Amino acid sequence: MKPTPFLPTLIVATGLLLSAGPAFAQMAEGLDTADLAPAEPAAAAAPTAEKKPEAAPATEAREIEASRYAGEELPAYVRQLSARFSIRKRTTDPFGRNQDPNFVAPAPKVIAKGPTTSFQATPPVPFSEVVAGISVNGVMPGKQQFLIGNRMFHTDDVFHLRLPTGKQMGVKVLSVSSTRIRFRNVTTNETADLTLNMLPAGMVPQKGTGKMMPPGVEVQDSQAPVEIQPTIPLSNN
Query: CA 145, CA 138: separation in Å to the nearest integer?
Result: 9
What is the distance of C-alpha 165 from the center of its chain? 35
Q: Is the pTM of this model over 0.85?
A: no
* Nearest 10 degrees: Cα torsion 81, 85, 88, 93: -130
Mapped to the 3 state alphabet, what secondary structure does 174-205 carry? EEECCCEEEEEECCCCCEEEEECCCCCCCCCC
Q: For residue 132, what are the contacts with CB-CB under 8 A and spacing of at least 6? A: 192, 194
Q: Which residues pair with 126 in a beta bridge?
A: none
Query: CA 39, CA 177: separation in Å to the nearest integer?
Result: 147
Name the strands in the sheet holding 151-154, side by side, starting at the edge strand that comes first in the sequence. 138-140, 145-148, 151-154
C-beta pairs of 152-156 under 8 Å, 24+ apart in sequence: none
Interior angle at CA 226, CA 220 and CA 227, nearest 5: 115
Query: CA 233, CA 237: separation in Å to the nearest integer?
Result: 12
Tens digit of each residue's pLDDT, the chain (237 residues): 455 566 666 676 666 666 555 554 555 454 555 555 555 555 444 444 444 445 444 444 567 777 777 777 888 888 888 888 888 888 888 888 888 888 888 888 888 877 777 777 778 889 999 999 898 988 988 889 999 888 899 999 999 998 888 889 999 999 999 889 999 999 999 999 999 877 666 565 566 666 666 777 777 766 666 666 666 665 665
Query: Model confidence over 185-209: pLDDT tens digits?
Result: 999 999 999 998 776 665 655 666 6
DSSP string of 7-24, one letter each residue:
HHHHHHHHHHHHHTHHHH
Residue burial 21-60, b: 16+ Cβ < 10 Å; e: rest: eeeeeeeeeeeeeeeeeeeeeeeeeeeeeeeeeeeeeeee
DSSP string of 84-125, one letter each residue:
T-GGGG-SB-TTS-BS-TT--PPPPPPPPP-PPPPP-PPPPP
pLDDT value of residue 58: 44
CB atoms within 10 A of CB 130: 19
Q: What is the DSSP letter of 224?
A: S
